[in-house]
């Protein structure tokens, strides 16, 4: 039997990702005017309607209606035929102030350090399968949809494409658990009425698969499924209601490693669901880059209102050059894992979170938590 593993991604036009991008765009706008904004914004999108709700504390003025429409327009929902477009959809807003019970545990005061915005556990992961230190299945799933969006927005190669799409990549691994070949690729993409599926498959094979996945990983037995239902005209929020935070595995590691359960988008960095997940990715990536392990999973956990994590755990799946407990000790010596320490180290009070809300939060060098700037420090701490 083949040793197979599969991950999926969804495009910026997927209903859940529309919601994520709206929530993060509102967060960015609040941070522009007030870097100390506390934000927890959720978005729902459905046929002809976007609903924004949440709890915030901010000195910023934000035109929520305009932000929502800008995001939808930028994604590409500009046709009335989509039954959800930037200029005609309704926008409802129900945002109120953050609970003072939460705020008193999170705010710094005198000698009291900033506490975690909630309890929970967060995970960061890295391996050597790709140059991004990401699982190959997820990296290629993201790459395919980024390229498909480029084709849709910037070229005339496939003029029938709609904004909503999904990908899935299955990789076969050898007995040493190393990637061997791409076994199956699934692409489902929204398209205009009247386009032949044979034409779509031909274009996907030529303009997408052949230019994204390395040739040496594709062979005569690689399976390609394109719009396997036979048609994908109805898509976006008209085809399926979208919600913020419903694609957490797409956002992280495609099912590899682990996930603590907390979503990212719409939350400022005082929420450790987001900031500590970024911090643990930063740690895991630097451990692997330092050649201390070939694969690494880092877990931290917090109590609400408490600054220091209640636990730190490192798992190298037997690939570590030193004992996992020794690595965990080195992590605690090297990295400040208090919320304020993470925010300062990764510069998380700046706007720019909307960019994270489609095509994954990890494996993209534009983000501070992807820097390999602690390789020497973690190596020295182990020694």
Residue ranges at the known binding site: 14, 16, 42, 55, 98, 164-166, 231-232, 240, 246-247, 263, 267, 271
* Residue 211: CB atoms within 10 Å: 11
DSSP 8-state symbol, 195: -
| 83 φ/ψ sector (left φ>0, alpha ψ -120 to 50, else beta) | left
CB hemisphere CA count around 68 (13 angstroms): 24
- With CA atoms as reference, report the closest residue to 89 among 64, 67, 68, 63: 68
Determine contact, residues 300/282, Cβ cutoff 8 Å. Answer: no
Tokens of 160: 């029938």
- With CA atoms as reference, report the closest residue to 50 among 242, 234, 233: 242
Backbone angles phi, psi at 241, to 5 degrees: -65, 140
State the binding site for L-methionine: 55, 98, 240, 271
Determine contact, residues 252/341, Cβ cutoff 8 Å. Answer: no
Tokens of 40: 């927890």
Determine contact, residues 319/293, Cβ cutoff 8 Å. Answer: yes
Encode 232-266: b = buried (16+ Cβ within 10 Å), e = exposed: bbebbbbbeebbbbbbbebbbbbbbbbbbebbbbb
- With CA atoms as reference, report the closest residue to 239 among 190, 194, 187: 190
For residue 330, the SS3 value is helix
**Cα–Cα dist 47/233, whole Å:** 15
State the binding site for ATP: 14, 164-166, 231-232, 240, 246-247, 263, 267
State the binding site for Mg(2+): 16
State the binding site for K(+): 42
- With CA atoms as reference, report the closest residue to 145 among 187, 185, 182, 184: 187
**Cα–Cα dist 353/342, whole Å:** 16
Give bridge partners of residue 189 from the DSSP assignment. Answer: 165
């Amino acid at each position: 039997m083949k040793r197979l593993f599969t991950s999926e991604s969804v495009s910026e036009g997927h209903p859940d990702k529309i919601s994520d991008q709206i929530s993060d765009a509102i967060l960015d706008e609040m941070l522009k005017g007030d870097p100390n904004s506390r934000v927890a914004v959720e978005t729902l999108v459905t046929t002809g309607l976007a609903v924004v709700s949440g709890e915030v504390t901010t000195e910023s003025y934000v035109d929520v209606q305009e932000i929502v429409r800008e995001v939808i327009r930028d994604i590409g929902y500009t046709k009335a035929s989509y039954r959800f477009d930037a200029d005609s959809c309704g926008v409802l807003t129900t945002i109120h102030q953050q609970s003072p019970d939460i705020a008193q545990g999170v705010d710094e005061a005198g000698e009291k350090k900033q506490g975690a915005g909630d309890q929970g556990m967060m995970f960061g992961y890295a391996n050597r399968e790709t140059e991004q230190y990401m699982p190959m299945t997820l990296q290629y799933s993201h790459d395919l949809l980024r390229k498909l969006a480029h084709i849709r927005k910037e070229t005339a190669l496939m003029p029938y494409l709609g904004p909503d799409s999904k990908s899935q990549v299955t990789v076969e691994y050898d007995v040493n658990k190393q990637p061997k070949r791409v076994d199956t690729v699934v692409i489902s993409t929204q398209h205009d009425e009247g386009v032949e599926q044979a034409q779509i498959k031909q274009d996907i094979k030529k303009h997408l698969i052949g230019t994204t996945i390395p040739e040496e990983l594709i062979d005569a037995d690689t399976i390609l499924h394109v719009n396997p239902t036979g048609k994908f005209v109805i898509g976006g929020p008209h085809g399926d209601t979208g919600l913020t935070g419903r694609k957490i595995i797409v956002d992280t590691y495609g099912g590899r490693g682990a996930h603590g359960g907390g979503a990212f988008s719409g939350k400022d960095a005082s929420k450790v669901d987001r900031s500590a997940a970024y911090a643990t990715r930063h740690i895991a990536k630097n451990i692997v880059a330092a050649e201390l392990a070939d694969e690494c999973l880092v877990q931290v956990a917090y109590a609400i209102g408490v600054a220091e994590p209640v636990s730190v755990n490192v798992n190298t799946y037997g690939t570590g050059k030193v004992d996992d407990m020794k690595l965990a000790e080195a992590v605690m010596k090297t990295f400040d894992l208090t919320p304020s320490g993470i925010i300062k180290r990764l510069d998380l009070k700046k706007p720019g979170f909307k960019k994270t809300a489609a095509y994954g939060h990890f494996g993209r060098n534009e983000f501070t938590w992807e820097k390999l700037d602690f390789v020497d420090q973690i190596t020295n701490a182990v020694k």
